[in-house]
């Protein structure tokens, strides 16, 4: 694929030769240097529009309301208003959280002015009577201050302030961290969710501290560990890293973490798991901490947790919410926070799957004009219209739509554009620039109001939201700016730079790492004693739980869960029946395309419109979006970047899907061959197979029509069509595996277990023949029907 810096040069050549009637520098969707610079400039202008309004109409409060142009601060009258008070601590949150975006602009003077404003704003530091959430305050305030300090004190950065900066931002970060750290002084070492910045844990009611989620218990480890490196004080890293490890120890035998716990007792509150709200930052900081701190044990946590997610929660287009102890589907919805995960997958090197997962976010944006906080992938409508009148049908349709979006707001969250940015950096596919253009246009038109940017309060009605949370300036517009800024110093630095979960760039210089390793100290006896007590307690109860899933002897067994009509939409390969003679859904370019480069996703991804087909009963465009087209086929973009000679769509599958879960004691080490096939000696371990029923007339998951001819093969001669004496060698049904432990099998791939090894193990052989059976062609069988690519050989 010829997509990289060369695109700019080739686009320049085109416009030198062909010209453009409106602008000699570029035409829209050329994505040459000048077009990207123009978009970058527009994002910067939008940021300063909102930032200036905050300074004049919101500061010193935490936010400014974009429609009513008045400040928004914490609710001092109701301490129980946690939705407001968790993130608004009366500490000028927008001012602090947006500092690093100005730094990324390389606007040194503005950066210095805002740092001085922060200095003037906190003469007594954070001595505030505010009960806030520990995690949100960590990522927005502590993280914002640390990252800004790194920018101000690093001579290699454009906004380096030299002798004009005395390091007070780091002092402020430390002051805030010291006020948050007492939340960790529990008998479990897990932090309480909230604390008062002035009075600590005094006067906090039980309901404010009874439950904490996994992201909040584990996440602060990242910022607090950086703080330890920069101050030399080990207590911040030690206390929060213990909490991270403790949180991971609460996982189920499947290596899946429940969503939330009582931090005082360790009792589980919410047993389901996923990648979205309440757990997202756990995965993010396991991987990012492993990279930034060069920490092998954190990487093991990431590797094992990601493997568990892939095995138990992965569908083609998203990760489902599953029961943590069984891996079974527990909730037929996904939430918008999960849109961050493709960006994390890019960081982990799993770009291929990231493309699939980001595509789901694109389709949600196409449908609703943003990502609703929660969307159901399985239709929730169970009502029928009361009458046949047009109004009754209209009301029924509206109710159907409403049920599919149980949480209907979109507060301009950054996760979709964040993942889009990372995918563009990894692939340089203009497909992702096109998404950025759409998001930018929405900020210029739909989301822009008198004093800032307001989200969508209700994606069904189009009602706007009179709020601009700090992440809009800290994250959403930052990632959008970086998407168009090829020259940004972050893209060319040699620093081991990592974005925090609040999009604050973090890095540690070699001299800082060396100094910390040699001179770190632990002077605070309170926290030193706390850590010693926690480790001593852990040693006494270490035998309570074997580490990992296979540490205990498990009962051999096979769970077969054929999808019912109710559950089929949970799996992308369980499609609705295709309409007779239905034409391909991929559009074709109608004008000449430019031969030197194409968008790989637009041109060669043959499942580009599969989501639209599979989920057409829940991806229903509301009235405000009815006239808007899909981003990926905007005419100017499609005509320029689609390879009309090769772009085509795979036929949607119509076969029925099923799952097989096999649990056998022990571990095994499957080997994946170059063609995608899997070989394994032993049946040991937990195997989650996804398969399909092959029947003539159906379309399989690879987009191929199934005729009778594939069934007339020697491998299937032991399966007979009932009551059909004319052709006894033609079966009516076969099975085929399509994925193993969450990883898709290419067409033609096989799964092979070692016959001799299995037969030497009496338990394995008994399991095999009791639950499967095997035909003379060495194919394993279900209900006397061969699984055509599952062998014992």
Average pLDDT over residues 126-132: 96
Residue 705 pairs in a beta bridge with 699
Rounded percentage of the chain residues whose pLDDT exceeds 70: 85
pLDDT for the residue numbered 417: 98
Of 211, 280, 284, 632, which is the active-site residue? 280
Are 688 and 660 contacting, i.e. CB atoms less than 8 angstroms apart?
Answer: yes
pLDDT tens for 170-187 read 999 999 999 999 999 999
Give the separation between CA 213 and CA 235, rounded to whole angstroms: 23
Residue extents of the structural domains in the chain: 554-560+653-792
Residue 524 annotated as catalytic: no
pLDDT at 749 over 80: yes
DSSP annotation of 317 reads S
Angle at CA 134, nearest 5°, toward 131 and 139? 125
Residue 280 annotated as catalytic: yes
Report pTM: 0.89
Mean of pLDDT over the chain: 86
Average pLDDT over residues 718-736: 56
Are 501 and 139 contacting, i.e. CB atoms less than 8 angstroms apart?
Answer: yes
pLDDT tens for 292-337 read 999 999 999 999 999 999 999 999 999 999 999 999 999 999 999 9
Top-confidence residue, 258 or 571: 258
Are 355 and 317 contacting, i.e. CB atoms less than 8 angstroms apart?
Answer: no
Of 35, 86, 234, 373, which is the active-site residue? 373
Of 136, 335, 418, 632, which is the active-site residue? 136
Q: How far apart are the first and last CA of the chain?
A: 40
Residue 373 annotated as catalytic: yes
Collapse the DSSP code of 85 into the 3-class scheme (helix H, G, I; strand E, B; otherwise coil) and give the result.
helix
pLDDT for the residue numbered 378: 87
DSSP annotation of 138 reads I
pLDDT tens for 699-726 read 999 989 988 654 433 333 333 333 344 4
pLDDT for the residue numbered 511: 96
Give the separation between CA 713 and CA 697, rounded to whole angstroms: 17
The rounded radius of gyration (Å) of the Cα atoms in the chain is 28
pLDDT for the residue numbered 759: 79
**Which residues touch 559 (CB under 8 Å, ≥6 apart)?**
660, 661, 662, 663
Q: Positive or negative, the Cα torsion across 170, 175, 176, 177? A: positive
Residues in the chain: 793
Give the separation between CA 215 and CA 297, rounded to whole angstroms: 18
Let me know if 185 is exposed, middle or buried by CB neighbors in 10 A (0-12, 13-18, 19+): middle
pLDDT at 573 over 80: no
Are 256 and 324 contacting, i.e. CB atoms less than 8 angstroms apart?
Answer: yes
Are 664 and 767 contacting, i.e. CB atoms less than 8 angstroms apart?
Answer: yes
pLDDT for the residue numbered 3: 36
Of 63, 234, 316, 415, which is the active-site residue? 415
pLDDT tens for 668-683 read 788 999 999 999 988 8
pLDDT for the residue numbered 203: 80
Are 250 and 306 contacting, i.e. CB atoms less than 8 angstroms apart?
Answer: no
Q: Which residues are annotated as a binding site for Ca(2+)?
A: 501
pLDDT for the residue numbered 438: 97
Record the tokens describing residue 341, joined without a space: 């995960």
Give the separation between CA 126 and CA 134, rounded to whole angstroms: 14
Average pLDDT over residues 624-630: 90
pLDDT tens for 499-548 read 999 999 999 999 999 999 999 999 899 999 999 999 998 888 775 544 44
Residue 566 annotated as catalytic: no
Give the separation between CA 566 and CA 552, rounded to whole angstroms: 34
pLDDT at 218 over 90: yes
Are 612 and 619 contacting, i.e. CB atoms less than 8 angstroms apart?
Answer: yes
């Amino acid at each position: 694929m010829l997509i990289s810096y060369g695109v700019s040069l080739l686009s320049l050549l085109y416009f030198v030769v062909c010209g453009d009637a409106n602008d000699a520098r570029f035409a829209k969707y050329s994505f040459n240097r000048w077009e990207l610079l123009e978009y970058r400039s527009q994002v910067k202008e939008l940021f300063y529009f909102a930032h200036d309004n905050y300074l004049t109409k919101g500061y010193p409060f935490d936010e400014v309301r974009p429609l009513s142009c008045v400040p928004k601060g914490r609710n001092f009258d109701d301490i129980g208003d946690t939705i407001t008070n968790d993130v608004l601590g009366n500490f000028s949150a927008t001012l602090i959280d947006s500092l690093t975006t100005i730094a990324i602009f390389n606007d040194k003077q503005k950066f210095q002015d805002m740092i001085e404003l922060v200095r003037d704003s906190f003469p007594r530091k954070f001595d505030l009577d505010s009960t806030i959430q520990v995690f949100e305050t960590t990522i927005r305030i502590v993280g914002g201050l640390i990252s800004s300090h790194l920018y101000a004190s690093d001579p290699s950065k454009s906004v380096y302030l030299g002798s004009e900066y005395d390091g007070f931002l780091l002092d402020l970060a430390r002051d805030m961290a010291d006020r948050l750290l007492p939340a960790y002084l529990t008998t479990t070492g897990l932090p309480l969710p909230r604390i008062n910045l002035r009075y600590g844990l005094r006067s906090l009611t039980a309901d404010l501290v009874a439950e904490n989620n996994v992201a909040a218990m584990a996440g602060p480890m990242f910022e607090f560990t950086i703080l330890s490196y920069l101050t030399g004080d080990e207590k911040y890293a030690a206390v929060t890293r213990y909490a991270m490890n403790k949180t991971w120890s609460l996982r189920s035998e499947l290596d899946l973490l429940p969503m939330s716990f009582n931090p005082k007792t360790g009792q589980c509150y919410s047993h389901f798991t996923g990648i979205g709200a309440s757990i997202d930052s756990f995965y993010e900081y396991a991987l990012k901490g492993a990279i930034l701190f060069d920490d092998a044990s954190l990487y093991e946590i990431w590797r094992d947790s990601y493997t568990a997610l892939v095995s138990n929660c992965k569908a083609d287009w998203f990760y489902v919410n599953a029961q943590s102890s069984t891996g079974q589907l527990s909730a037929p919805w996904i939430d918008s926070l999960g849109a961050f995960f493709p960006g994390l997958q890019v960081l982990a090197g799993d770009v291929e799957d990231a493309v699939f997962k980001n595509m789901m976010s694109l389709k949600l944006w196409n449908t609703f004009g943003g990502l609703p906080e929660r969307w159901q992938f399985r239709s929730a409508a169970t009502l029928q219209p009361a009458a046949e009148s047009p109004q009754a049908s209209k009301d029924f349709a509206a109710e159907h739509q409403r049920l599919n979006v149980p949480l209907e707001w979109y507060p301009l969250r950054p996760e979709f554009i964040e993942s889009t940015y990372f995918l563009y950096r990894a692939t340089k596919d203009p497909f992702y620039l096109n998404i950025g253009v759409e998001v930018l246009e929405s900020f210029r038109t739909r989301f822009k109001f008198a004093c800032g940017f307001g989200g969508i309060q209700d994606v069904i009605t189009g009602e706007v939201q009179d709020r601009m949370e700090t992440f809009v300036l800290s994250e959403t517009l930052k990632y959008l700016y970086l998407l168009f800024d090829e020259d940004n110093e972050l893209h060319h630095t040699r620093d081991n730079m990592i974005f925090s979960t609040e999009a604050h760039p973090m890095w540690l210089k070699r001299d800082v790492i060396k100094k910390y390793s040699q001179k770190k100290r632990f002077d605070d006896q309170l926290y030193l004693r706390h850590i010693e007590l926690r480790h001593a307690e852990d040693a006494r109860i270490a035998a309570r739980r074997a580490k990992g899933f296979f540490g205990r002897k498990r009962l051999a067994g096979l769970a077969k869960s054929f999808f019912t009509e109710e559950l089929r939409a949970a799996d992308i390969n369980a499609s609705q029946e295709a309409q007779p003679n239905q034409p391909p859904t991929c559009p074709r370019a109608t004008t000449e395309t430019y031969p030197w480069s194409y968008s790989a996703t637009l041109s060669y991804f043959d499942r580009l419109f599969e989501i639209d087909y599979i989920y057409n009963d829940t991806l229903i465009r509301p009235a405000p979006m009815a006239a808007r087209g899909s981003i990926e086929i905007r005419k100017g973009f499609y005509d320029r970047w689609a390879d009309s000679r090769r772009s085509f769509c795979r036929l949607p599958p119509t076969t029925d899907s099923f799952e097989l879960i096999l649990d056998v004691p022990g571990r095994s080490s499957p080997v994946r061959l170059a063609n995608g096939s899997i070989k394994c000696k032993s049946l040991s371990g937990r195997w989650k197979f996804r398969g399909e029923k092959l029947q003539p007339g159906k379309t399989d998951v690879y987009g191929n029509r199934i005729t009778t001819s594939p069934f007339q093969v020697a491998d299937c001669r032991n399966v007979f069509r009932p009551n059909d004496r004319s052709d006894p060698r033609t079966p009516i049904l076969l099975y085929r595996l399509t994925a193993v432990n969450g990883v898709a099998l290419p067409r033609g791939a096989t799964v092979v277990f070692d016959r001799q090894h299995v037969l030497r193990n009496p338990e394995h052989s008994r399991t095999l023949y009791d639950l499967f059976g095997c035909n003379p062609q060495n194919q394993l069988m279900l209900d006397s029907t061969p699984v055509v690519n599952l062998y014992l050989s």
